[in-house]
Structure formats: C-alpha cells, structure tokens
Amino acid sequence: MKQETQSNDLWQDKNRAIELSKELYDGEEKILFFEELKKEILELEELLELSNESDEIGFELEKRILIINKKIKNKEIESYFEGKYDKGNAILSIYSGAGGQDAQDWVQMLFRMYGRYCERKDFKVLIIDEAFGECGDNGRDGLKSVTIEVSGKFAYGLLKKETGVHRLVRLSPFSAQKLRHTSFALVEILPEISDNEDIGLRSEDIKFDFYKASGPGGQYVNKRESAVRITHIPTGITVTCQSERLQGSNKDKALKVLSSRLYQYSLESKVKELSRIKGDKISASWGNQIRSYVLHPYKLVKDLRTGVESTNPDDVLDGNIDQFIEEEIKQK
C-alpha cells in the first residue's frame, strides 16, 4: 500500500488517492499505538519492582494501570467500527414529539446531554439549525428541533446507534398540579458525507429559499436573509441552516446535511424494498423507542435494546452515556 501511495500517477484518481492515504495513516497510527503501549507496559514492570519501597510509587503504579486499561478499552471499541463512515464526523438532530412544551424541554435536555458527552470526547460541536417554540408560562423558550455537526474521530461510529425515540417520564414543570408527564423526542444521527463523494445530487433537483434567521422568542439574529432552506424536490427532504451570518456559509452547511440525509434515505429505501420482497413489516422509525428516562416515581434509565440500566439519571443526562453507547456498539 505504501508503494502505491508513492506512485507518480496516484493522484490521477483523486478519490482513490484520498482513500489510500487514509488507510495508510490509520495503519501507521495503529502501529504507533502498540509501540507506545509496549513501552508503557515495560515501564510498569519497572515500577512494580519499586512499588514495595514507597506508597507513592505504589499509587503511581495504580494510576498508570488505570490509564493503560482505558487506552486498551478504547482501542477495543474502535475495533467494532467497520462501517464506511464510522471514523468520520456526524450530524446529530433532535426533534420534539408528543408532549407539547414538555417535549420541547426534553429536546433541550437531550441537546445538553449529547453536548456534554461530546465535551468528554473532545469532539467539536457546531449548531447548524434551531427551531424554537413559543415561550412557556415559566418564561423558558421551547426547542422544537436542533441540528448540530459533531466533528471528531469516530464521532459517527460512536453516536450512530443513538438514532431512535427517547422517552422521558417526570413530574412536569409546566403543570400547575405537578402531574406526571411522558414526553418523546426523536434523535437522528447521520454520517457527514465528504464533498468529493458522488451521491447523485443534481442542481435541477434542488430548490433554495432564503429568509431571516431568528432566535428564541422570534428575535432576529440577522436582519439580512442569511438563513437557507433547501428542498430536494424528488424526495421532499428539506434542510435548513441559520448558524452562520453569511448566506453562502449557511448554504454550504445545508448542502452537507442534505447529502447526509439523501444517503440515509437511499439506505432506508433499500431496506424497505427488501422488506417488501420478503413480506416483512417494518414499523415506522418514529415508533422505535430505544431508551426510557424515568425521573418519577422512581429513577431509572433503561435501554430497551441492550438492557443496560442506570439508577442515576442525573449523571446520564449530564453526558455520561458511555455504558449505553459501548454496549450498543457491541450489538451486531
């Protein structure tokens, strides 16, 4: 492979050149990881011999063992990433479902949860679009939907199985009687499609609309028509972006999201066609509840696919969702 990347005519096929360069980089990165791991283990052996001499050395030994175990665990998780886009960035969207103001508040809570998770992973997060609901009686603005770009290695591989309906049960802060309320939100995770990949997006199939970007309470973020709405005419898929002040930047980001959604649409179409041929019935994606977050009358977060549970929902909603994601990844 290395010899092929050094060929003079490699860049005559740009896509192939990029693919080979990535494979070479990944291979060299793996070799470097195991070389460093071997070095760290040898250092552990030296510390082990000295650990009886002082408590301080013993504490340092325990600390390093924990660090090495974490590195090995992370590398094990990476071994499950075999999909085409698993190593790349992700586009994460959250949509409010049944539940009115509670559902919109639930979108806010999930948005914060994934934001905190991304911070823990050192992923970069950029808001692409937000749609706000009406201000509630308690003065809080609702969030009907939000779309963000998550940039970082393995972002899509880690997040992709979070797609589905998330259910919240709690005492409603919007109910004067403090009644228990159930809310739903749909989480959608898409891979970011590279600019050089052909997914059949034709200019004649696209309709552009431009409007003024707005924030909470209907206040204008920008007086110019910088926000962009793109409609893919054949499928009816619509994408909006208002995160940037420049219309051109919003247009580029919206096209990127549209490419990802068209890719997902093509995959779903193939699944539906196979299902039709086989005679199987596939329930609508909106009905595929994957996880419940119960805050009252007891505290429990349970993933209905893997069976993973947590009795500390506050910790989960603060972004500590690794146990759920790691088990999802291992499920084939």
What are the tens digits of pLDDT across the range 145-170?
Answer: 999 999 999 999 999 999 999 999 99
Same domain, 252 and 113: no
Same domain, 24 and 171: no
The shares of helix, strand and coil residues in the chain, as percent rounded to the nearest 5, are 45, 25, 30
- Asked if the structure places residue 196 within a domain, the reply is no
pLDDT at 136: 54
> For position 234, which CATH number holds?
3.30.160.20
Same domain, 212 and 247: yes
> For position 150, which CATH number holds?
3.30.70.1660
Beta bridge partners of 90: 150, 191
- CA 310 – CA 314 distance, rounded (Å): 10
Q: Structural domain tally of the chain? A: 3
Same domain, 163 and 299: yes
pLDDT along the chain (332 residues), means of 10: 56 62 72 86 82 77 87 86 91 90 95 97 95 65 90 95 94 87 93 74 90 60 73 93 87 91 83 54 56 96 96 98 95 75
Q: Which of 257, 212, 265, 272 shows the shortest CA–CA distance to 234?
A: 265
For residue 133, the enclosing domain spans: 90-187+290-330
- Asked if the structure places residue 85 within a domain, the reply is no
Distances (CA, A) of 264 to 7, 188, 191, 257: 35, 10, 8, 11
Task: Provide the whole-model pTM.
Answer: 0.77
Same domain, 68 and 20: yes
Same domain, 99 and 243: no
- pLDDT tens-digit series, residues 22-67: 767 677 777 888 888 888 888 888 878 777 777 787 788 888 888 8
